[in-house]
Each structure stands twice: as structure tokens, then as C-alpha cells.
Amino acid sequence: MRLKLIACEVFYREACAVAARSPNQVDLVFVAQGLHNLGAPKMLGHLQDFVDATDPAVHEAVCLGYGLCGNGILGLAARTVPVVVPRAHDCLACFFGSRERYMKYFEANPRVYYKTSGWLERAGQMGTDQLSFGAPEKPAPTWEELVAKFGEEDAAYIRDTLSTHLKHYDQITYIDMGVEPSEQFEARARAEAAKFGWKYEKVPGDLGLLQRLVDGPWDDKDFLTVPPGRKIIPKYDGTIIGLSTD
């Protein structure tokens, strides 16, 4: 099969690795991480454009490297080819290899801020990497950029306001996916934990779910296959997402 994988760029290294090992021909399309920060309606619109650009004469299916991601994929429609999506609330289930393994870790460690090589090299700064500052191509501003634009006093207020949610965390967990070229990413994660006075832990990641996304076949337990003419809807049970009736 020839597949198109549309994925958040935090999966860049992992997606390249699984595509290289897939028996299928996988064409990769990466979307800037900041797309999450625009809100669900705008995120959906951008992803739908990428899906709609698929040529059925070239690709047999679209694989979506996203979870539910703040409801950003709800309403996404398959047009001319099937769309295959992991049954996951967000990317962490993909990094852990399954939503069951992720939930088990989360339940034992509810105050964890997660890092991977992709989050470290392609997302924004700590405390702002999940917040919106405009177009998805624009990363979160640095402290220097905030000062230049707003002055030091207002910049400090903005920084503190944006970082309020960090009070809910006390640990950084680095997920080692086995595709990192060196220890530089783990070192950065460890340094960020030290900066905030948080605990630090490294856990092994698992490429299994991503590998099966680009390999197929797609079992219904872990993947939703959206046939042409149907849309993704929420499911308020363990399956997370389902199909529209129209």
C-alpha cells in the first residue's frame, strides 16, 4: 500500500523511524506543533485541508498521527480515501505504545510534565509550549521577545500568567523513544526539572502503536478507520472516538 501519514511534528523522529521500517510506502506530512494552540475549530480546519488534499489515485489511506488532542479531530471527515486514527486522547498514548500503559503510568504519577525529543526540539518553552500565540508556524515567544514587545514589567506578568498551570506539576518524565542520536535531549529534560526544583524520571517509550499505524492491518481496538463519507465523533467510553451515522 501507499499511505499518507499526516502527523504532528513532535513525532518527527519517531514517524521517520517507523516509516523506514514499514512494508508500505509511507509519504510523510508534518504539521507544526502550534496547531494545537489555535483551538479545536481551527485545528480541525487545518487538518481537514491536509486530508482533503489527498489524491485517491496516489494514496490508499490517510494515517493520522494525532489523538483526540483537545477535540481537535472531532468532525474530521474522510473524503475519497479512508482515514485511520489511533484511539488515543493525545500523543502520550502513542509515545507509551498504548493508552493502557499510559493510563497506568498517569494514575501512579498524576503531576508529571512529559518530554520527548520532539517536544524539546519542536515545541515552545516550558510553560508556554501548550499555549497559543498566533499562527501554528510561530513558536512561543522567548523572554527577550516578550520584553521587547511589552516591556519588562508587563512581560513578567504575561510570563507568570502563562506559567500558572505549571503549579499542577512536580516532576518531568522523559520518554526515551530509542531514536535519539545522543543524550542531549535527556540532559535538557533533566536540566528543566532541576530548574523548577522538580523530580525527574526517564522511562522507555514504545514505538509499537505508531508502527502498526503505518503497517496495518488496523484492529478496531486501537484504531478507528473512517470510511469515505463518514466523520469522527466523540465516544464517551474506552473507545474514545467513533463514526458518524451519516
Q: What angle do CA 206, 201, 162 make, to 5 degrees?
A: 100
pTM of the model as a whole: 0.83
Residue type for position 98: S
Q: Which residue has the cell 499555549?
A: 131
Which triple of cell numbers denotes residue 9? 511534528
Which triple of cell numbers denotes residue 210? 505508531
- As a whole number of angstroms, the distance between CA 211 and CA 89 comes to 18
The pLDDT value recorded for residue 137 is: 37
- As a whole number of angstroms, the distance between CA 115 and CA 64 comes to 21
The pLDDT value recorded for residue 161 is: 62
The pLDDT value recorded for residue 19 is: 98
Helices (H), the chain: 12-21, 40-52, 91-96, 99-108, 117-122, 143-150, 152-162, 184-196, 208-215
For 22, the 3-state DSSP assignment is: coil
Could you read off the pLDDT tens digit of each residue along the chain, which spans 246 residues?
Answer: 999 999 999 999 999 999 999 999 999 999 988 787 778 899 999 999 999 999 999 999 999 999 998 899 999 999 999 999 999 999 999 999 999 999 999 999 999 999 999 999 987 655 545 333 333 334 456 777 777 877 777 767 666 665 666 778 899 999 999 999 989 999 999 999 999 899 999 999 999 999 999 999 999 999 999 999 999 999 998 899 999 997
For 137, the 3-state DSSP assignment is: coil
The pLDDT value recorded for residue 130 is: 39
- As a whole number of angstroms, the distance between CA 49 and CA 146 comes to 32
